[in-house]
Structure 1
Amino acid sequence: MTTRRNSSDMLNRLLRPAALLAAAGAITMLATACGSGGSSPSPGGGAPAYPALVSSPACMQLRSQNPDLNGKTLTDAINPHTPGYESISVNDPTKYEGFDIDLAEAMGECLGFTVDYLPVAFDALLPTLQSGQANFIVSDIYATKERAASADFITYSKVFDGVLVAAGNPKKITGIDDSLCGTTTALNKGFVEVPLVNAQNTTCQSKGKPQAQTALFDNNADCEQAILSGRADAYINDVNTVNRFVKDQSDKLARATTLTLPYSIGIAVPKGQMPIRNAFTAALTQIQTSGLQTQLAQKWQLDESAIQAPSLVTAS
């Protein structure tokens, strides 16, 4: 059920400057209808990908209770450079694939809406939602109180970070600690790990060591390349992403350690919009209860993930 588009359109959207996305004026939050708005279990018109979910009493009731979602097309803002979570399909460059893509599609089937995707830089995800260009975000984004100033979050997984280094870990990095003094860590702009790495400089200074530097990029692929090219010594992100990079280049990359961060991964929805927040929470609960979230994690080899019952992270 993943939305298809031609490759030139895909390329144009991938290259669209994040600044324009963030600055664009707001549009109507619920996109134009793509169907009759009835209770059809397949909003895209074809056979549902998750028929058991669609036919569940819970989802049938949710579609009836949410006519403003049922039969519509909603836009999911994503940063499609994280294999396993969201990336351009290797087999079909007109499609996106990954756990987050499947999760968004499952949400759509349960609630009756079709999913469209808007690719942006990671630090443009929340501005894109705030501007009204997207209706929600499912893109391996950590739910924090700081980010909740811009959106409401519905959590679905705990956070475990991995530390990616060059094979052999030549700088002997052991985590987000003083082992980062005198090194450069590649991170995405807007990552929660950026201030955590910068905070080590107090310790570095007290011990007379060089500062811990950060090199900021727009996506995870560029962070990986920074390590491969020697421009960075470490990269810190979701452990499953780190594991995949190591698996793909085991002769050049390694995982130094695993960290537990006090965050959760969440779905971001517009602040204060209770109908969509409540509907998404209920649909996610059904996806978890049915075992589908576990199945999707296994499908995409997210071996080190921990399902978390939906809870809200808001600014208040």
Structure 2
Amino acid sequence: MLPTNTSRTAALATAALAALLALTACSNAEAEAAGEAAFPDLADSAACVELREQNPDLVGTTKTNALNPHTPGYEVVNPENPDEFIGFDIDLGDAIGDCLGFDVDYLPVGFSELVPTVASGQADWIVSNLYATEERAHGGVDFISYSKVFDGILVATGNPKSITGIDTSLCGTTVALNKGYVEVPLVEAVAPDCEAAGLEAPTVSLFDSSADCVQAILSGRADAYMNDVNTVKGYIAAHPDDLDSAETVMLDYEIGIGVLQGDHAFRDAVQAALVEIQGSGLQAELAGKWALDENALAEPTVLSVG
């Protein structure tokens, strides 16, 4: 069946945006390759110059970012160059590196392996749309928050199961989630209320990436998927005839950058750089660039259990 004019227009708009963002990302990557700052105004700011003077051990180094590159808008493989990653978190990491004087490289891993990868010393930090929680911090990292969390619930077009939130509307449904997602225990916690109402508990189906979760809905193997609302909107834009949003849920979490527990110098330098990035308006600018319309700043604060 041929697509409707509306879906064709949406698909063309999505493709055009992806091409524009890829070109912008390439210009950033080219600047980095040439030894230039991707964000020279930030790097030249008085605050960042002072931070480099205060943290000389960071200048000229390379910090490896453990990331799960399957979240459109935040971090994915560049469709124009399979050797590059693009997204808000890539730019944010580059901005922090420019401010503090270090380069960034990447180690792609499964979502549930993000924290263990840094805790084991295989990578230096996590800039990968990761919700900062005490449970994750107990895995061996400290977090520096930078954004509030709004979760969207992705469903098939028309919301055939009438899902209204992380509540008893999930009874009897199958929810696709990434391994290690904070939503896993939230969905599982609905089970007693379902059973009390004489209904089946929701089934949680775990996957290694967001793309796999979405594919489960598209193939009819799952009824819902939960993630950052901007991510949900991105998947709807990519599949306007097949996917829809059921609800937006405010979760009591913030998105944070993870660093090795005990590395206070690096942690505190990242926090200070984030303060400057937010104060300059760059974080909001990057959110707009990557069409993250519901990206609310959170004051950079540290979550540590060490």
* 2:160 is the alignment partner of 1:170: yes
Q: Match of 1:214, SS?
A: strand
Q: Distance in 2 between matches of 1:259 and 1:159?
A: 9
Q: Match of 2:92, SS?
A: helix
Deviations 1:131-180 (A, max 9, x none): 10110000000001111112110000000000000001001111100011
Shift of 1:120: 0.3
* 2:175 is the alignment partner of 1:193: no
Q: Distance in 1 between matches of 2:273 and 2:33?
A: 18
Aligned position for 1:278:
268
Q: Distance in 2 between matches of 1:138 and 1:46?
A: 22
Are the aligned partners of 1:3 and 1:115 in contact in 2 as well (CA < 8 Å)?
A: no
* 2:151 is the alignment partner of 1:161: yes
Aligned position for 2:74:
85
Q: Match of 1:197, SS?
A: helix
Aligned length: 279
Q: Distance in 1 between matches of 2:130 and 2:28?
A: 20
Aligned position for 2:9:
none
Deviations 1:105-151 (A, max 9, x none): 00000000000000000000000001101100000000011111121
Structure 1 or 2: more helix by fraction: 2
Query: What TM-score do you get using the length of structure 1 for normalisation?
Result: 0.86
Q: Distance in 2 between matches of 1:285 and 1:73?
A: 21
* 2:228 is the alignment partner of 1:238: yes
Q: Which of 281, 290, 293 is the equivalent residue of 1:300?
A: 290
Shift of 1:99: 0.1
* 2:299 is the alignment partner of 1:309: yes
Q: Which of 26, 32, 37 is the equivalent residue of 1:48?
A: 37
Deviations 1:70-112 (A, max 9, x none): 1001100000000100000112212100000000000000000
Aligned position for 2:142:
152
Q: Distance in 2 between matches of 1:49 and 1:126?
A: 27
Q: Match of 1:205, SS?
A: helix
Q: Distance in 1 between matches of 2:133 and 2:246?
A: 25
Q: Match of 1:185, SS?
A: strand
Q: Distance in 1 between matches of 2:251 and 2:217?
A: 23
- State, as a whole percentage, how many aligned pairs show the same letter: 57
Q: Distance in 2 between matches of 1:83 and 1:239?
A: 11
Q: Distance in 1 between matches of 2:78 and 2:28?
A: 11
Shift of 1:3: 6.3
Q: Distance in 2 between matches of 1:230 and 1:59?
A: 50
Are the aligned partners of 1:129 and 1:137 in contact in 2 as well (CA < 8 Å)?
A: yes
* 2:108 is the alignment partner of 1:112: no
Structure 1: gaps (5+ residues): 5-41
Q: Distance in 2 between matches of 1:49 and 1:172?
A: 45
Q: Distance in 1 between matches of 2:127 and 2:113?
A: 13
Q: Which of 59, 67, 72 is the equivalent residue of 1:70?
A: 59
* 2:43 is the alignment partner of 1:57: no
Shift of 1:315: 2.0
Q: 1:70 to 1:138 in 2, by over 3 A?
A: same
